C-alpha cells in the first residue's frame, strides 16, 4: 500500500564522508531559503521509507509530516507491539496527537507496521519488507534524562544492530541516524561547530547524551562505506501550531524558570531551541535531498534565531498578562534551597524529585551555548522559528497541567 510523500525525479545520491569545519553562520544567510521545505520531490512511488521511534515525539512528528505531505512512497514503521493489529493501534494513537484527521489515519494499515524494537533487532531483521527500503531514519531511543538501565542497551547496542541490518540493504539510498546536539558535553564552546570530534573527550550531565556520543563514534565505523548521515537536533520543545499537545517534554523547565523569576545563564544568556515540526521537516529535507554536502548536520536555531532567557520570559509575561523585567541570574544551589516554595509554584510535588530536576535542567540552561547551522542552511532549509515567537501556543496548550506533572514526561 502506498502512503504518500511528494513526487518526481531521481538523482544519484552520494554524500561526503567528511566531518570538516564550516564557514561562520552569517555567511550562509543568502537566498537559498526560497524553495520548497521540506523538499521531498526526489521521493517516488518506487521508494520505501523505514522510520523508527514513531511513538515518540520527534519520530511521531516525522511520520505525521510524511502523511500530511500526501506523497507516493511506501512507508514502514517499527512499532513495539505483540501483533501488527496492536502496532497499528499504537501508530494511529501516536499520530493522532498531531491532529491527523480520521481519513488520513484510516489509510494506515497493518502492512505499514513492522513489530519490534531496538531491544531485539534480530527478532525483526529477517522481515523481507526491509529489502525494499530506500530511505531509513532512526529516531528510536531512550531519551529520558533519568538513569534507565536500558539507555545503553537501546541507544548503543540496539542502534548498532539496526545499523548493521540497514547497511545490508542493497536498495538503500540514505540512512539517517538522529543523535543530539547535547553530546557537546558540560563545557562546550560558545558556538558549537558541526564536526565529528566535539564529543570525544566530553563530560556529560546525563547517561542519555553519553550513550548518543558513543553510538555516533561506533556508527561512523559501521556505516563508513554506506550512504549515512548523522543529524543532531538541539533542544526540541513544543510544536508551532499544537504547542505541547503532542508532548510536554522540556517545556516545564521554561515554565519553572518563569515562575521562579530565575535563570542560571542570566537574562541575556542564549538557549538553542527548535519546535518539533521544524525539526521533523529539516530531517526529512535532508533525507530526500539527492546529494548532500556533508555527513553530519545540526538542526537548531543557531546564533541568529536562538532566544535569550529575557525574551523567553517576556513572551511568557505577554501571554499570562504579567509584568516582566525582574528575571535574574540565580545559582542552582539558591534555587534548590527554595524547595519549600515548590508546591505553591509547581503544584503538588515530591520536593526532592523537583530539586533533582532543577539541578539537571539548570546545568543545561547555564551552558549559554548555540549550535552552528550553516550546513543545514546550505542545503536549502528554511530558517527555524524563534522559541519566543511560539511560546504562547505552548502556554495555552499546557494550562491544564502543573509544572510538576509536566516534568514527569522527561524522567
Task: Give the number of residues written for the chain.
Answer: 411
For residue 3, pLDDT over 70 is answered with: no
237's grid cell: 520543545
Give CA–CA dist 83/87, Å, rounded: 6
pLDDT digits (tens, 9 = 90+) for 124-174: 999 999 999 999 999 999 987 777 889 999 999 999 999 999 999 999 999
Give CA–CA dist 42/45, Å, rounded: 10
Strand partners, 370: 191
Give the residue-averaged pLDDT of 171-188.
Answer: 94
Strand partners, 136: 50, 175
pLDDT digits (tens, 9 = 90+) for 231-242: 999 999 999 999
- Number of other CB atoms surrounding residue 81 within 10 Å: 19
* Beta carbons of 288 and 41 less than 8 angstroms apart: yes
Give CA–CA dist 128/325, Å, rounded: 60
At residue 12 the predicted structure's pLDDT band, cuts being 50, 70 and 90, is very low
* Beta carbons of 62 and 77 less than 8 angstroms apart: no
- Number of other CB atoms surrounding residue 404 within 10 Å: 21
Task: From the options 3.40.50.150, 3.10.20.30, 3.40.50.720, 3.30.428.10, give the CATH code of 25-240+272-306+369-386.
Answer: 3.40.50.720
Across the chain, mean pLDDT equals 90
Task: Say what the pTM is.
Answer: 0.90
* Beta carbons of 145 and 411 less than 8 angstroms apart: yes
Q: What is the pLDDT of residue 196?
A: 57
What DSSP state is assigned to residue 186? S
Give CA–CA dist 42/170, Å, rounded: 19
Picking from 20-34, 80-94, 323-337, 396-410, which range would have the lowest pLDDT averaged per residue? 20-34
Q: Where are the domains of the chain?
A: 25-240+272-306+369-386
Amino acid at each position: 500500500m502506498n502512503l504518500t510523500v511528494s513526487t518526481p525525479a531521481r538523482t544519484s545520491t552520494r554524500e561526503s564522508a567528511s566531518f570538516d569545519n564550516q564557514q561562520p553562520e552569517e555567511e550562509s544567510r543568502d537566498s537559498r531559503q526560497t524553495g520548497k521545505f521540506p523538499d521531498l520531490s526526489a521521493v517516488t512511488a518506487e521508494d520505501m521509507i523505514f522510520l523508527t521511534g514513531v511513538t515518540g515525539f520527534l519520530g511521531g512528528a516525522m511520520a505525521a509530516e510524511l502523511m500530511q505531505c500526501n506523497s507516493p512512497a511506501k512507508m514502514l514503521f517499527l512499532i513495539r507491539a505483540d501483533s501488527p493489529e496492536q502496532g497499528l493501534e499504537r501508530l494511529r494513537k501516536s499520530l493522532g496527537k498531531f491532529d491527523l484527521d480520521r481519513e488520513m489515519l484510516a489509510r494506515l494499515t497493518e502492512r505499514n507496521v513492522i513489530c519490534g524494537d531496538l531491544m531485539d533487532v534480530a527478532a525483526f531483521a529477517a522481515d523481507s519488507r526491509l529489502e525494499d527500503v530506500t530511505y531509513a531514519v532512526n529516531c528510536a531511543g531512550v531519551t529520558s534524562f533519568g538513569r534507565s538501565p536500558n539507555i545503553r542497551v537501546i541507544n548503543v547496542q540496539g542502534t548498532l544492530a539496526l545499523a548493521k541490518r540497514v547497511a545490508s540493504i542493497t536498495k538503500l539510498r540514505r540512512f539517517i541516524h538522529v543523535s543530539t546536539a547535547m553530546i557537546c558535553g558540560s563545557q562546550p564552546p560558545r558556538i558549537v561547530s558541526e564536526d565529528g570530534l566535539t564529543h570525544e573527550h566530553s563530560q556529560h550531565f546525563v547517561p542519555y547524551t553519553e550513550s548518543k556520543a558513543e553510538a555516533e563514534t561506533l556508527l561512523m565505523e559501521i556505516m563508513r562505506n554506506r550512504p549515512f548521515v548523522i543529524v543532531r537536533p538541539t533542544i526540541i520543545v513544543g510544536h508551532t501550531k499544537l504547542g505541547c499537545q503532542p508532548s510536554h517534554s522540556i517545556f516545564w523547565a521554561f515554565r519553572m524558570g518563569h515562575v521562579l523569576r530565575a535563570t542560571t545563564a542570566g537574562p541575556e544568556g542564549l538557549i538553542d531551541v527548535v519546535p518539533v515540526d521544524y525539526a521533523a521537516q529539516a530531517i526529512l529535507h535532508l533525507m530526500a535531498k539527492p546529494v548532500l554536502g556533508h555527513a553530519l548536520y545540526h538542526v537548531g536555531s543557531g546564533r541568529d534565531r536562538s532566544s535569550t532567557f529575557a525574551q523567553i520570559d517576556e513572551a511568557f509575561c505577554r501571554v499570562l498578562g504579567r509584568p516582566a523585567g525582574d528575571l535574574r541570574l540565580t545559582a542552582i544551589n539558591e534555587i534548590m534551597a527554595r524547595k519549600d516554595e515548590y508546591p505553591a509554584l509547581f503544584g503538588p510535588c515530591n520536593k526532592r524529585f523537583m530539586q533533582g530536576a532543577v539541578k539537571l535542567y539548570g546545568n543545561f540552561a547555564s551552558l549559554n551555548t548555540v549550535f552552528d547551522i550553516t550546513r543545514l542552511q546550505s542545503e536549502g532549509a528554511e530558517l527555524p522559528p524563534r522559541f519566543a515567537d511560539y511560546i504562547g501556543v505552548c502556554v495555552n496548550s499546557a494550562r491544564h497541567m502543573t509544572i510538576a506533572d509536566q516534568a514527569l514526561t522527561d524522567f
